[in-house]
Every structure is written in structure tokens, then in C-alpha cells.
């Protein structure tokens, strides 16, 4: 895992914006990886799934998930979920923050504060 904070997400996502504002407001340097702009090749979904579980990463509440065909949502397992997230990055819960051996999915100011204390 990276020694420098890396924030993964999509720039027009409100939660990602809040996380970026929090990091910048607290003077924390980070690299932002936008799934749509920077692509999925460098996104370590397999490692994240190993560390957190694929079900933590998959955003079942997303518009993208709801729009999937029933056959794509049926019988999900790790491999199929990762394949779907790679093909549809908006299926990944946002943001994902990677820093100093920690992985954080979603944004809550108190969790970020605890991480960077």
C-alpha cells in the first residue's frame, strides 16, 4: 500500500468532493485517481477485495447497479463482482482512500480524523 494517500473515485461524486475538501482542509497531500479519467488498470480491486471483501466495495444502492440486467445481479460472487466493478467503475463505493497500510471506503470526517491523527 502506498505511503502517500491515494483517493480513488469520480470527481463529480458529492462524497468524493467532501473527502477531497476534508483532505485539503487538513493539509494532507494526496493523489486523486479518477476511475473515468485515469482508467481502471491501476485500481487494485483484487487486493481491496482480499482486504475488505468484495461485498464492502460493491455499491448495490447505486443507479448503475439497479440498472444492471437481473442476470448480472444474480448469483454474485467475488470474481463476478470484480468483473462488474472493472467494467462499471460507478459500482465501486466511493471514495476509497488508501494510506499507510489502511483502506477506508466511504467518507466520514471522524473516521478520516482518526486515520490521520
Question: pTM above 0.85?
Answer: yes
Length of the chain: 117
Would you please indicate which residues are annotated as catalytic (active-site) residues? 13
pLDDT in tens, the chain (117 residues): 457 899 999 999 999 999 999 999 999 999 999 999 999 998 999 999 999 999 999 999 999 999 999 999 999 999 999 999 999 999 999 999 999 999 999 999 999 999 998
Which H, E and C letters describe the chain, residue by residue? CCCCEEEEECCCCHHHHHHHHHHHHCCCCEEEEEHHHHCCCCCCHHHHHHHHCHHHHECCCCHHHHHCCHHHHCCCCHHHHHHHHHHCHHHECCCEEEECCEEEECCCHHHHHHHCC
Amino acid at each position: 500500500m502506498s505511503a502517500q494517500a491515494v483517493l480513488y473515485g469520480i470527481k463529480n461524486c458529492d462524497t468524493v468532493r467532501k473527502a477531497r475538501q476534508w483532505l485539503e482542509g487538513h493539509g494532507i497531500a494526496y493523489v486523486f485517481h479518477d476511475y473515468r479519467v485515469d482508467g481502471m488498470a491501476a485500481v487494485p480491486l483484487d487486493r481491496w477485495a482480499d482486504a475488505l471483501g468484495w461485498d464492502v466495495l460493491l455499491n448495490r444502492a447505486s443507479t448503475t447497479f439497479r440498472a444492471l440486467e437481473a442476470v448480472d445481479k444474480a448469483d454474485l460472487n467475488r470474481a463476478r463482482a470484480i468483473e462488474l466493478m472493472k467494467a462499471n467503475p460507478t459500482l465501486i463505493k466511493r471514495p476509497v482512500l488508501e494510506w499507510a497500510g489502511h483502506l477506508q471506503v466511504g467518507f466520514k470526517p471522524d473516521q478520516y480524523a482518526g486515520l490521520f491523527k
